[in-house]
Amino acid sequence: MSKVKKSALDATAMGIISSCQTNHICSTGAPVIAMRRSWKPRMLPLLIACLPLANAFVTQPVLQKSSTGTRPQIPTTLRGIDADEWESDFDDFADSNDDVLKLSDVLQSRGADDLSACRSRQLSLGRDFVLSDFVGNMGFDEVTDWEYYYENEDDETDRKVVQPNPFDSATPRRTRSSSGSVIRLFRGELVGPLGGSLSAQGYDRRVLIKEFSGDMAMELARNELFAIAKLQSNLLRNEQSAQDGDWYRAASSRSVMERQDNNNVARLMHLLRDSPFVGILGECNLAEIDDMDPNEFYRAMSVKPPKPSAIWIIYEYPGMASVANYAQPAELRRQAIPPKKGFFGAVDPPPLPKFEQRANYVVKGILKGALEAMALQHDVGLVHRSIGRSSILLSSKAMDKREASSPYTTFLSQLHIKMADFGFAGLLEASADDPEFCTRARTFGLSFAKGERSIAVANFAIAEDMHALGFVAVGLLLSSLAEIKSVNDPVPATDEDTLQRLLGDIFDKDIAQFREYVEAEEVWANLVELLDRNDSAGWKVLETLFMARERAAKFKDSELILTARGLLSSPFFE
């Protein structure tokens, strides 16, 4: 194959087109939440075309260099909230003529999708909550997967793919660039009357605070607020006071209705204990920080104070453990536990639970919980579009959130899966409003008009989430259930780049060939036996997730809605 360069001129001269699949990965300075999003921009024919596959937030050291790739645009229609609506006055009504603004009008425009009033509630730093410590930063890695093919001038959809030389640096299959830090995270605690009310009812007063600063971060914040507000509204569907607008009225007039709003927050905390997503309590009123001495903030947090334009969103505290932290052999996590001291020196950690117990925890606890969380989002009418290892949190209803990620924890009652990071989420029905979504669909033979509302559009949007969860599932299984005898035993790579290359490039999406690859490794012998049970039920679940987009394309004319809930009845989860 002729040498292909990343320039339109060279590609045109040789009659070769290259396409890329671009990912965005959030990197953090501590084990925090993560996101993953799919998007596929493509340029004109005879130019280098970009066909992105996925974007993800992953836990990595803080990256300093800036992104050189194209920043994904989040359409306003997917955000579900106007840019003007972000600004608010004292009582959170955009109209200055408050005397003629009716509550029913406000509820129709924004309260109907925010029964919990999380977008209207302004909590004060100092009175309602205090900061405990700085957790870390979040930024984006732009990951681009490239394909090369000869152009067919007669049919753009029928072009011959060219396999590049893997040793040719000019034809890379995957490249990365970083955006740097765009979000900061803090831990905090609710105090004052609100904190006292929660403590009296036995709720956790700890909170997680995300600071969004900059244009891209603001888009993520708006999108996340809208998506979680919709999920929380679903939680409150049986709360008559929320349906009547009482929650919205109390939150938007918190200065005079504080007691009622505090009671509503306590009720929301109660409902969030069983929710499969990380809930939002409200935003922070940063007016107090504007008058604060910057040096005082720096001395307390060891970081610079927030910028005047920053937005702080306050979340329930789910803990900091995610699938990304859990996805490594149990023996490695056991050896990482600090040794205890005894009479004769350090005492080694106790032996690990049996494989069957740990496998049951991973399959029926983590994987099934993640599948249920994703299915709920689809039921509500949302697509996550950024599912990755770090967006699935291993939380617990107990105060010690770390116990759920311990290598010794095997009881399902100690685990509570929560989905996080909805910055790229969108309305299921509005998926085709995004031109990048339509471009991705065309690579599977689906032709959607911009703004189209159809079952085929909904099915492909759901399939993208299922496909993303499939890579999380196989990565978790291969890493956490790898049986090694010591920390020095070699384990094949299970990162997403490797799995994408294995399943997509080497085995051409053939799950049977992938099974043979896994079976050849001794460390996965028990895992293969587990996946083979009940007529290969485990492999069938993985294949259904991996091939969800292909299945959506195959049944594009069907009147049936694709759903992830059907997988929950698989013998693999019984």
CB 314 within 8 A of CB 281: yes
CATH number of 354-573: 1.10.510
* 227 touches 382 (CB < 8 A): yes
Structure tokens at 296: 């005082």
CA distance 15 to 12: 5
Three-state secondary structure of 54-122: CEECCCCCCCCCCCCCCCCCCCHHHHCCCCHHHCCCCCCCCCCCHHHCCHHHHHHHCHHHCCCCCCCCE
Question: Tens-digit pLDDT profile for the chain (574 aa)?
Answer: 333 333 222 322 223 333 444 444 444 443 333 333 333 323 222 222 333 333 333 333 332 233 333 333 333 333 333 334 333 333 333 444 444 434 444 444 445 679 999 999 999 998 999 999 999 987 766 666 676 766 654 555 555 667 666 556 667 766 766 767 788 999 999 999 999 999 999 999 999 999 998 888 999 999 999 999 999 999 999 999 999 999 999 999 999 999 999 999 999 999 999 999 999 999 997 776 777 788 888 888 989 988 888 999 999 999 999 999 999 999 999 988 887 877 777 777 889 999 999 999 999 999 999 999 999 999 999 999 989 999 999 999 888 899 999 999 999 999 999 999 999 999 999 999 999 899 889 989 999 999 999 999 999 999 999 999 999 999 999 999 999 988 888 899 999 889 988 998 889 899 999 999 999 999 999 999 999 999 999 999 999 999 999 999 999 988 888 888 989 999 999 8
Q: How far apart are the C-alpha atoms of 564 and 574, rounded to whole Å?
A: 16
Nearest to 467 by CA among 550, 570, 567: 550
Distance CA 121, CA 98 (A): 18
Q: What percent of the chain has pLDDT over 70?
A: 74
Q: Tell me, what's the pLDDT at 27? A: 45
Residue 337, φ and ψ in degrees, nearest 5: -70, 130
Three-state DSSP at 504 gives helix
Instruction: Please give the Cα distance from 190 to 219 (Å, whole number).
Output: 27
- Around 65, how many Cα atoms within 13 Å sit in the side-chain half-sphere? 8
pLDDT value at residue 296: 86
Q: What is the CA radius of gyration of the chain?
A: 24
Distance, in Å, from the CA atom of 405 to the CA atom of 416, rounded to the nearest integer, reads: 10
CA distance 368 to 169: 41
pLDDT for the residue numbered 108: 44
pLDDT digits (tens, 9 = 90+) for 102-119: 444 444 444 567 999 999
The helix (H) or strand (E) run that includes residue 289 is helix 287-290
Residue-range domain boundaries for the chain = 13-72+137-176, 77-131+182-316, 354-573
| Neighbour tally for 47: CB within 10 Å | 15
How many other CB atoms sit within 10 Å of the CB of residue 465? 26
Q: What count of Cα atoms within 13 Å lies in the side-chain half-sphere of residue 306?
A: 28
Alpha-carbon span 438 to 431, nearest angstrom: 8
The number of residues in the chain equals 574
DSSP, collapsed to helix, strand or coil, labels residue 542 as helix
Handedness of CA 424, 427, 433, 438 (dihedral sign): positive
Q: How far apart are the first and last CA of the chain?
A: 50
Quick one: pLDDT at residue 6?
Answer: 30
Whole-number Å distance between alpha carbons of 138 and 180: 8
Question: CB-based contacts of 439: which residues, under 8 Å, 6+ apart?
Answer: 40, 41, 42, 51
At position 539, the amino acid (one-letter code) is W
pLDDT of residue 4: 32
The pLDDT value recorded for residue 532 is 98
